[in-house]
Structures are given as C-alpha cells and as structure tokens.
Amino acid sequence: MNANAIMNTYARLDVSFVSGEGAWLVDTDGNRYLDAIAGIGVCVLGHAHPEVADTIASQAATLLHTSNLYRIPHQEQLAAELVRLAGMDKAFFANSGAEANEAAIKISRLYANKKGIANPTIIVTDGSFHGRTLATLTASGSRKVQAGFEPLVNGFVRAPFNDIEAITKIADNNANIVAILVEPIQGEGGIRVPDSDYLTRLRSICDAHDWFLILDEVQTGNGRTGHYFACQESGIVPDLLTMAKGLANGFPIGVCLAQGRAADVFQPGNHGSTFGGNPLACAVGLTVVRIIQEQDLAKRAAIVGDRMQTAFAARLGGCQRVKAIRGKGLMMGIELDEPCPQLPQQALEKGLLINVASERVIRLLPPLIISDEEADQIVDILGELIETIQELPR
C-alpha cells in the first residue's frame, strides 16, 4: 500500500479494513475490532448488512441513475417516508451532509430575498459543525475548519450554543436575521447536549420573528439519539431539517426536509444536483429507513445508550480525569480534563474503534444494532483504557 497519492486531509490511523460484519471490522491481518464509531455514525445497521447489500446489488442490476430530468419513483417514495416521519412536507436530495445544509441555507436566503430583506443573515452557534463547503464551514463554529479559507461567506452571525438570551439580543438588534441553524446535540463540537427546553424556545423565537428554524440532524438523525429525529424529544418541528450520515448506512446521500413556508421556496432552476436522489441511493435509503422502524432501532438506541452511560458512570465516576459523561441514545461523549489525541490508537491496539472530538471528548457512535454484550465490551475496554491513563503521571 502507498498513501503518497492521497491528499493529506486526514491524520489517519495506520490500519485498513477488508471486511465487516455487524459491529465488527476485520483488518488486512485478520484482526477483529469492535466498531464503536461506525464510520462516524454512518453504519447504523452495522457492516455488511445482508438486506442493504441485496438492495444495492439488485438496484444496481436494474437501474443506477437517470438524473433529475425525469421522475424517480424511489426518490418520491423515500421523500414521502421521510416527511411522514418528520411531520414535514417536502424533501430535496443531495449526496452529503454539507450539501443538505447548503440547500437549507439557500432556501432561507431565497425566501428572505423574496420578502425584501436586504442582507439575509443566519444565526449559527459556537462549537457547531455543518460541513466543509465554503458556506457550511463559515457556518461552523470552529476556527480550525475556517482558517486559511478566507474570504468566508457573508450572512452569518454567531451566538454561544445553548444560550437563549444571546439569541434574543440579536433579535432585538438585527432586522436581517432570517434563520437559526443549530444541531440538536453538537457532534464534532464534543457531544454537547443543550438544556431540555432549548429547541422549544428556539422554535418560539423563530415563530415570533418569522425566521426559519433549521436543524442540522446530519449526525443526530436516523434513530441515533433514541428518536427517529433528535428534535422529536422536544415535540417541535423545524422549518428545515437536514440529515445524511446514517440515512443509507454508508451509501452517500443527504437530504433537506422542509415544511410550510419553506417547502415551496425552490422552483425549477433554483437548485439541483446531478447525483442527488438517484435510484440507487434512494433504494438503499428506503431499506435502511424501513429496517430502523421494523426493528424499532431508535428505542433500542435509547435502551443500550442508557445501559452504557450507567455503566460508564459507575466505572469512571471516581476518575479525576473524567470531567463528564454525556449524550443521548448511542451518541455519547466522555470528556477528559486534557487533550487525548493518542487514545484512538491505544484503543485500536485493544481491538476497539473510537474517535476523539473537540480534542478531549471521546466520542462513541456505535451501530444501532449492537448487542448488550457488545455494549458491555465497549465499556470494559474503554473503561480500562481510561483507568490506565488515570494512573499515569501528568
């Protein structure tokens, strides 16, 4: 193997996998790893899921792509299913989370421009992550993602995450605001869970000002947090909702859902995507969405997630280096008191795949199909690893 021809965008671990099954991956030497990150929250049904594989094979043998010049039955079906689940009206399909967010941003601007707002501005939050395109990296609240790519895109203002007062202050002082874009739980930002009334209060503020509430559920969607969409725990419906990662278990897809005023903003010529919503991606999406519901995997995520958080709390509650254990369902973070960039490699050596977000937060996004035993194994291996660091001199 030779990585020289690959652009240096990722600090990769020196391992590669040749196959997988459920929550397990097998490397080139035949070693097995328990996958507690699932391709960054993507493989919700685990690896090599037989029905996903069958869908891909049979759809590929039937029809891959026709373009959006024509009607696409699988796209219409997946759209209908997702808007039904979300209690929303319409869907636009793209190929990634960043593109789904671009669609939401463009809808907000188009709506505002039609209303005569001169400088449509979207409120975004500290610590957020919305993607790597120019607009979505501008919307992201991390200098690391933005640095060196100036000039950034106009039309965003930033507020602290989980701070309603900051939003009200902006509302009083800026007549150009058209939307708030926020993650229900920040993922890349370090699994930050806001107050339980945060989304409800954002919904009221948006209603009072005729702003769009845009929820980025790229990471939290598809059952991961214990509901099909994380916002369903708050009982609110956003105007725009984006999802991607787990939607087709690894087949690239993204979607922007819209309701009410936001649903009919785009007209032919306003937006598009060559690949977006193609028959293959949507067929896989339909299979994944059906299985998540048939097996009630959102509920399963809530139960296993609680089991793991309780076990982590019991085991690591006394560790001085553990600052917090948090999350919802199978979206969990363990915050340490200092950066731990070495931890994914150490876990790898013990047969466990994890990731670190925001430098010091161990992030777990296992497949929603993990068994109780596998969940306990994750707690055991990671618990032991953290206890070992605890004993090391600083």
Q: In whole angstroms, how close is the CB of 10 to ligand PLP at the nearest point?
A: 12
- Residue 182 near ligand PLP by CB under 6 A: no
Tokens of 344: 């994914």
- Residue 102 near ligand PLP by CB under 6 A: no
Question: Which of 22, 39, 46, 97 touches ligand PLP (CB under 6 A)?
Answer: 97
DSSP state of 333: E
Of 32, 15, 36, the C-alpha closest to 331 is 36
Q: In whole angstroms, how close is the CB of 221 to ligand PLP at the nearest point?
A: 9
Residue with token string 């032919």: 268
| C-alpha to C-alpha distance for 184 and 340, rounded to whole angstroms | 25
Interacting stretch for ligand PLP, rule CB under 6 A, among 80-88, 97-105, 200-208, 301-309?
97-105
* Residue nearest to ligand PLP according to CB distances in the complex: 97
Output the DSSP codes for 250-297: TB--EEEEE-GGGTT---TTS---SSTT-HHHHHHHHHHHHHHHHTTH
Question: Which of 120, 131, 194, 305 touches ligand PLP (CB under 6 A)?
Answer: 131
Phi, psi of 172 (to 5 degrees): -70, -20
Question: Which of 35, 183, 239, 335 touches ligand PLP (CB under 6 A)?
Answer: 183
- Residue 129 near ligand PLP by CB under 6 A: yes
For residue 254, the cross-strand partners are: 94
The smaller minimum CB distance to ligand PLP, of residues 109 and 245, is found at 245
Report in angstroms the alpha-carbon separations of 335 from 287, 309, 352. Answer: 35, 13, 18
Give CA 124 to chain center in angstroms.
16
- Residue 35 near ligand PLP by CB under 6 A: no
Contact 367, 44 (CB under 8 A): yes
The smaller minimum CB distance to ligand PLP, of residues 138 and 386, is found at 138
Interacting stretch for ligand PLP, rule CB under 6 A, among 4-12, 103-111, 183-191, 280-288?
183-191
The smaller minimum CB distance to ligand PLP, of residues 135 and 237, is found at 135
The smaller minimum CB distance to ligand PLP, of residues 334 and 357, is found at 357
Interacting stretch for ligand PLP, rule CB under 6 A, among 3-11, 92-100, 110-118, 300-308?
92-100
Phi, psi of 343 (to 5 degrees): -65, -45
Residues found near ligand PLP in the complex (CB under 6 A): 96-98, 101, 129-131, 183, 187-188, 216, 218-219, 244-245
